[in-house]
Amino acid sequence: MDSHFGFFSRRSPVVCFHACVASSQQLASTVGQDVLKRGGNAADAVVAIAAELAVTQPGSTGLGGDDFCLFFDGNTMVVHHRKSLTLDFLKGRAYSAEAPPPKTDSLNAGAPACWCDTVQLFGSHKLSLQEVLTGALLELAQVGFPVAEVTAHFWAQSVAEFRGAGKELGGDLLIDGHPPKHRQVFRKPFLARTLKELGGHGKKAIYQGRVAQAIVDIIAQHGGVMTLDDLNSHDSEFAPINTKYKGVCVWEPPPNSQGLAALLLLNILENFPLKAFGYNSSDYSHVLVEAVRLALIDVVHYVGDPDHVTIPVQSLLSKNCSSQRSLAGAVSDGF
């Protein structure tokens, strides 16, 4: 490339007329585009993409994970938030800040509720949930998809972690007892059936009936305490938080998500002349690292389930609080 051409990215920017889709998986982006072409909006497309990633990147996401959504309504200029995270099933487990649950432990089933609510509340209403979850997406689960190289690597890594923890994955996530290799075609007929039921019956397809019972049974087999009542009572929460960074309003999901960390970090950084330091200079990098450390100290100390602990979000996000944090950090570092 011409050394006089000041372009430093490995990828060129996408330029288009109507809409574009970006994700970690080419097949997922294609599914999102398909939804948009069929009349859906961004909310419809992102749900289809999330579901597709559950098909093609099971080591990264799935129906059994938590889920967060920030949606900006261009007509009302309002940011909405939707989150799903149930921690009741951890009651009675000997977990603490010093001994958190391992990654291989059973997680909650919050993502499907988020998908359903996102389409219902923010979708175009030109496509039903069933239409969002069918088409190219369902075909990939039923007919199969070629496993990407990065996905194959992390798929194998996840299988090794589970086996190292004394647990075995089901045959529907393996080929002849082994994780799929790069370019192997993998089918997920069981997940296809579940997605079809979710599209046809909505949240109750996951939180009641066959799938709910399967979730409860597998968690109980691994020492969990989730019950059918826990799943049936699962609901959504709406309450985004924000701060202003140099006049720009930045929104994040509230606790118990980690969104608070980003806002605390911006509040602290606003007190330092980053531009004057020079990008990636020693002072610039040092301030950034220390600001992250200070923000995460508060997050680790305060963030938890808001139903069970009091989190002083407004106080933490006040400019006075960030000024005090910045001053204490600057004095200790000699600024």
Say whether the peptide bond before residue 256 is cis (omega within 30 degrees of 0): yes
pTM above 0.75, yes or no: no
Is residue 324 domain-resident? yes
Is residue 248 domain-resident? yes
Instruction: Give 141-164 pLDDT, tens digit per residue.
Output: 888 999 999 999 999 998 888 888
Question: Among the three residues 207, 232, 257, which one is the final residue of a domain in this structure?
Answer: 232
- CB contact at 8 A, 133 and 195: yes
Asked if residue 249 and residue 225 are part of one domain, the reply reads no
- What DSSP state is assigned to residue 33? H
Asked if residue 213 and residue 318 are part of one domain, the reply reads no
Asked if residue 191 and residue 74 are part of one domain, the reply reads yes
More confident residue, 93 or 309: 309
Asked if residue 260 and residue 224 are part of one domain, the reply reads no
Q: How many CB atoms are located within 10 Å of the residue 188 CB?
A: 20
Asked if residue 306 and residue 227 are part of one domain, the reply reads no
Is residue 178 domain-resident? no
Six-digit token string for 294: 């200070």
Is residue 65 domain-resident? yes
Q: Which segments of the chain are extended strands (E)?
A: 67-73, 78-84, 145-146, 185-186, 241-245, 248-252
Instruction: Give 231-284 pLDDT, tens digit per residue.
Output: 887 766 667 889 999 999 998 888 878 889 999 999 999 999 999 999 889 999
Q: How many structural domains compose the chain?
A: 2
Asked if residue 93 and residue 58 are part of one domain, the reply reads yes
Asked if residue 245 and residue 226 are part of one domain, the reply reads no
The per-residue pLDDT of the chain, averaged, comes to 81
Range of the domain at 129: 26-144+187-232
Asked if residue 245 and residue 217 are part of one domain, the reply reads no
Is residue 31 domain-resident? yes
The amino acid present at 94, given as its one-letter code, is A
Give the Cα separation of 329 and 327 in Å (integer). 5
